[in-house]
Amino acid sequence: MILSRLVSSQTDRRFWLGFVIVAALLLLLVPALNALPEGSPLALPNYMVPLLGKYLCYATLALALDLVWGYCGVLSLGHGAFFALGGYAMGMHLMRAIGTRGVYGNAELPDFMVFLNWKSLPWYWFGFDHFWFAALMVLAVPGALAFLFGWLAFRSRITGVYLSIITQAMTYALMLAFFRNEMGFGGNNGLTDFKDLLGFDLSQPGTKMGLYLASAVMMGAALLLMRHLVATKLGRVMVALRDAESRVRFLGYSTTQAKLFAFTLSAMLAGVAGALYVPQVGIINPSEFSPANSIEIAIWVAVGGRGTLVGAIIGALSVNAAKTWLTGAAPEVWLFFLGALFIAVTLLLPKGLMGLRLKFAKHFAKVEEGHV
C-alpha cells in the first residue's frame, strides 16, 4: 500500500512538472517568439500561429476519442461528425457576424443564400447572430446527437466492430446531407469568408494569437478534466467495463449509463475543438464529416497510446506535423505513409509511443537493479 502510494505520488509529480513545462512553452514561448522581429532567426512567422492552433484543436479532439476508446473500449469512427457540428455552429455565427460586408451586402441572409435565391433565413439559423447562443449550440448539438445515438446503441448492447460501423455510417450520412444545397449550410462550398469574432478582425495577428492561446487553454483544461474523471469511481468503472463489461454488469453497475455519459461528454469536447478550429482555418465544409477524417483521429490515438491521455495529444501533434511536412514535400506519399504507420503501430507498438516509453523505463529500472 505504501509503495503504491509512493509510485502514485511520483507519477503525479512527473505529470504536474511536465504539465507546467508544456504550458509555459505553449502560453509564453510561442507568443514571445512570434513577437520577435521578422529578420530574427528565432522569429515565429504569423502563418505558423493558426497552424499550431489547429494542431492543438486536433489534440483536444484526440483526447475526446481517447476517453471513449481508451477508457471505455468504445471505438467510435464517427467523432469527426461531432467535431464538424461544433465547427458549423461557430461558422454560422461567423457568417451572421459578416452583416452587410458580404459580396451582396445583405445583412439578413448569408451570401450563399442570396446566390441560391433564398427568400428568408431558415428557422434553425435564428439566434446565431448572438455569440452566447452559438457557444451553447457548440455544446448542445454534438451532445444531443451523441446522447440519442448512444442511448439507442448502448441500450441495445451494440459493441465492437458493429458499433464502429454504425458510427461511421452516421458521419457518412451527415456528410451527404450537408453536401445538399437545400440543407441551408452552404452545400459543397460550406461556410467561409469570415470577417471577425466578437469584434476582433480574424485577419489580424493579434486575433490569431488570441485564438491560438484559447486553443492551448482548452487543450490543457480538457486534459485536466479527463485526468480527474478517469481517477474517480466512474473512471474505474469505465476501465472495468472496457476490460470485462459482462462482469461489471453482473456486479450491478449500469454500463449503459457509464458509456453514455462518456460518449456524450466526449462529443461535446469534440464540438468545442471544432468551434476553435473554424475561425483559425477560415472555412468549414462537408469534407470535415468525411469518414476518413474519423479514421485519422483513431490513428492519432493509436500512435500516441490509447488509454493514456497524454499519448493521445502526442499522437495528434506528431502525426499532423508529419502530415504537414509530407503533403508539402511529397503529397503522393502521405496516404501510403499513414496506412503503413497504422499497420506498424498495430503490429509492433500496440500500446503506442507511450507504451514504448514505459517499456524503456522498465528496462532501465531492471538494469539499475542489476547494478545494485
Concatenated DSSP letters for 101-128? GSSS--SSS-HHHHHTT--S--GGGTTT
CA distance 270 to 288: 12
Question: pTM score, two decimals?
Answer: 0.92
Q: What pLDDT is attached to residue 360?
A: 58
Beta strands in the chain (DSSP E): 191-192, 196-197, 200-201, 283-284
Element of type H or E holding 129: none
DSSP annotation of 40 reads: S
Q: What pLDDT is attached to residue 6?
A: 41
Q: Which of 312, 246, 293 is nearest to 68 (CA)?
A: 312
DSSP 3-state of 14: helix
Q: What pLDDT is attached to residue 225?
A: 94
Q: Which of 215, 175, 226, 223 is nearest to 27 (CA)?
A: 215
Q: What pLDDT is attached to residue 372?
A: 47
All cell numbers assigned to 275: 468551434
Q: Which of 120, 132, 118, 127 is nearest to 96 (CA)?
A: 127
Residue given cell 460586408 in the structure block: 101
Low-confidence spans in the chain with pLDDT less than 70 = 1-11, 357-372
CA distance 197 to 98: 10
